[in-house]
Amino acid sequence: MATRQEILKALIVPVVEAMECEFWGLEYLSSGRSAMLRIYIDRNEGIVGVEDCAKISRQVGSLMDVEDLISGEYTLEVSSPGMNRPLYTLAQFEMYVGEDVALRLRFPYEGRRNFKGRLSGVEGDDVLLVVDDHEFLFPIDSIEKANIVPKF
């Protein structure tokens, strides 16, 4: 059985692609009677503009009204991934090898859930992170959240 995020993604990806943008990822957070649906979009040929976000927000909002997948009140946000770009897929991790990444695990490993280090590569379904000269290999399914650490 598909998760709510998988169902939402299956509905949203065609809308984003039809608007000539690239679907980067989504976050669905539910607490009590309210929920948050955050969609990240990107563009291969340039910067995501406010107009892109507004158009996709209108289209996805209409789709959500018709499909009625989220009961009760929810907030819909559409934005670019930004400088602290979240990473969701192995392909996205591969694109940013050599960058600094902060990640949080679903369950503690060696007594901690948060790690920050250099993204060294992807091996099979695992992400290789170097933290203070120690290599860690984390299965992608064990990663709850990962973001690029912006350089200023």
Measured torsion, CA atoms of residues 147, 149, 150, 152, in degrees rounded to the nearest 10: 170
- Quick one: 23 and 64 in the same domain? yes
- Does the pLDDT at position 151 exceed 80? yes
Task: Indicate the pLDDT class of residue 131, thresholds 50, 70 and 90.
Answer: very high
- Quick one: 75 and 22 in the same domain? yes
Q: Are 143 and 129 in contact (CB under 8 A)?
A: no
Measured torsion, CA atoms of residues 56, 29, 9, 50, in degrees rounded to the nearest 10: 20
Nearest to 25 by CA among 9, 3, 44, 49: 9
For the chain, the domain total comes to: 2
Give the pLDDT confidence score for residue 89 in this predicted structure.
95
Q: What is the mean pLDDT of residues 25-49?
A: 89
Give the pLDDT confidence score for residue 75 in this predicted structure.
93
Q: List alpha helices for 1-151, DSSP H.
A: 4-18, 50-67, 90-95
Q: Are 57 and 40 in contact (CB under 8 A)?
A: no
Domain-located, residue 121: yes
CATH number reported for the structural domain that contains residue 134 in this entry? 2.30.30.100
- Quick one: 94 and 75 in the same domain? no
- Quick one: 95 and 75 in the same domain? no
Domain-located, residue 39: yes
- Quick one: 126 and 96 in the same domain? yes
Q: What is the mean pLDDT of residues 42-65?
A: 91
Name the token pair of 103.
């990640």
> How far, in Å, CA of 81 to CA of 101, rounded?
14
- Quick one: 106 and 134 in the same domain? yes
- Quick one: 103 and 51 in the same domain? no
Structure confidence by residue, pLDDT tens digits, 62-112: 998 888 888 788 999 999 999 999 999 999 999 999 999 999 999 999 999
Give the pLDDT confidence score for residue 58 in this predicted structure.
95
Domain span holding position 141:
90-148
**Domain end: 79, 103, 129, which one?**
79
DSSP state of 64: H
Domain-located, residue 59: yes
**Domain end: 79, 102, 135, which one?**
79
Question: In the predicted model, what is the mean pLDDT of the chain?
Answer: 93
What is the three-class DSSP state of 12?
helix
CA diameter of the chain? 52
> How far, in Å, CA of 104 to CA of 61, rounded?
30
Give the pLDDT confidence score for residue 23 in this predicted structure.
96
Give the pLDDT confidence score for residue 3 in this predicted structure.
84
Q: What is the mean pLDDT of residues 9-14?
A: 94
Give the pLDDT confidence score for residue 2 in this predicted structure.
76
